[in-house]
Amino acid sequence: MAPRPGPLADSWLAEHGDDLVAVRRDLHAHPELAHAEHRTTALLVDRLSRAGLSPKVLAVGTGLVCDIGGVSGGPIVVLRADIDALPMQDDKLVPYRSTVSGVCHACGHDVHTAAVLGAGLALATVAGELGGTVRLVFQPAEEQMPGGALDVIREGWIQGVSAAFGLHCDPTLEVGRVGLKTGPITAAADSLEITLTGPGGHTARPHNTVDLIHALATVATGLPDALSRLVDPRAGLCLVWGHVSAGVASNAIPRSGTLKGTLRMLDKEAWHDAPLMVRRLVDQLVLPFGAMAEVSYLRGVPPVVNDASATALFSAAVRGALGPSAAVPTIQSLGGEDFAWYLDHVPGSLARLGVKPPGREHPYDLHQPGFDVDEAALPVAVRVLVAVALAALSA
């Protein structure tokens, strides 16, 4: 008889729940950036090895995978966590505040990591009773385009996988709620850098040179406007600049200037067409000024498109683990997530874990330096992940 998810998770959490919170706080206090997650990787290897498991560190040096069970010919189900942090100061006044200057788990990856670890350790107690393999994937570099999911895929850890599941913190949802959606749940996200160059000159004689700042401003405002009129509005295309730099003196026209931003869209077809369109429009916008334009277009991630059957199974697992009102509908966001790369290869589903702190009507959003979670979300996540793993193994 297959293990029952509720009693399994509850029994493990009763003994180890406090320790799991301590792990999350340890990760939060010691965040690491993409492909530099050495301490985090070592912590996970230690915890999993102590449970009698055999974690394998990825060839890139950080991140790891760990199989539980391993019935020959049985299904393989992936539970995925991302382990990297953001280059951002932690503004919270809490005991587990980041000890690393300018680095912070402001996206909840510490929660994702602790939850998958907890679910894996719970499942390891019944490894011999599983009807297949649960593969824990702790991937590096989710915050770095095009994402550490590609490291996992390149090493072949998705080959033969039946389904993949993941949770992402959602500060708008109360603890005990899990947001689910069939089809696209995130957006495509690319990185864009545009550099304009010209001969420079005196601000008294812009007509004798290339008025580079004016050309740069034309691109900064004109490119988002043009894209909004040349792409179907239902694609939800959104170009936002995060960096503008040019010049040092108020009376000198500079020789170069740079724009950096992100281009996001809800539609996968629009994502495929975007690079050529951006380059064409930039050339047309700078043509009247005589500036030279160099466009660096970095492909990020496609939208996460949740499989219908996997999402239905996930929803049923949530209701079974938490109650009939726990599974709630959610909407597609413009955020990017490299979980999308896994779903290009296998069916699966990404869901949103409610982490809204109690009493907070307007909690800090993801990627804000004050972001934090209600840690009661951790046992909720463990229960859900154990339930969906067991359900997928027996599907």
Rounded Cα distance, 141 and 100, in Å:
17
**Domains of the chain: residue spans and CATH:** 5-185+303-393 (3.40.630.10), 188-301 (3.30.70.360)
Number of neighbouring beta carbons within 10 Å of residue 192 = 23
Helices vs strands, H then E, count in the chain: 9, 16
The span from the CA of 147 to the CA of 145, in Å, is: 5
On whether the CB atoms of residues 369 and 106 are closer than 8 A, the answer is: yes
Any bridge partners for residue 189, and if so which? 264, 301
Here the tokens at position 203 are: 């601000």
CA end-to-end span of the chain, whole Å?
14
| 249-269 pLDDT tens trace | 999 999 999 999 999 999 888
Residue with tokens 């026209």: 253
DSSP strand pairing (163-174 vs 76-82)? parallel
- The contacts of residue 138 (CB under 8 Å, 6+ apart) are 41, 44, 63, 64, 65, 66, 80, 81, 82, 83, 113, 116, 117
- List the structure tokens of 100: 């690393």
Give which of 243, 255, 260, 262 is closest to 292, Cα–Cα. 255
- Angle in degrees, CA 91, 166, 188, rounded to 5: 75
Residue with tokens 């959490």: 13
- Per-residue pLDDT of the chain (395 residues), as tens digits, is 578 888 999 999 999 999 999 999 999 999 999 999 999 999 999 999 999 999 999 999 999 999 999 777 899 999 999 999 999 999 999 999 999 999 999 999 999 999 999 999 999 999 999 989 999 999 999 999 999 999 999 999 999 999 999 999 999 999 999 999 999 999 999 999 999 999 999 999 999 999 999 999 999 999 999 999 999 999 999 999 999 999 999 999 999 999 999 999 998 889 999 999 999 999 999 999 999 999 999 999 999 999 999 999 999 999 999 999 999 999 999 999 999 999 999 999 999 999 998 777 788 899 999 999 999 999 999 999 999 999 999 98
Closest CA to 140 of 85, 78, 220, 181: 85
Q: What is the pLDDT of residue 362?
A: 81
Closest by CA position to 333, among listed 183, 221, 229, 231:
183
pTM score > 0.75 for this model?
A: yes
Looking at residue 351, its pLDDT comes to 98
Which uninterrupted H or E stretch holds 239? strand 238-246
Residue-wise pLDDT for 163-219, tens only, equals 999 999 999 999 999 999 999 999 999 999 999 999 999 999 999 999 999 999 999
| φ, ψ of residue 284 in degrees (nearest 5) | -70, -35
Query: Cα torsion at 113, 114, 120, 124 (round to 10°)?
Result: 140
Check if the beta carbon of residue 204 is closer than 8 Å to that of residue 307. Answer: no
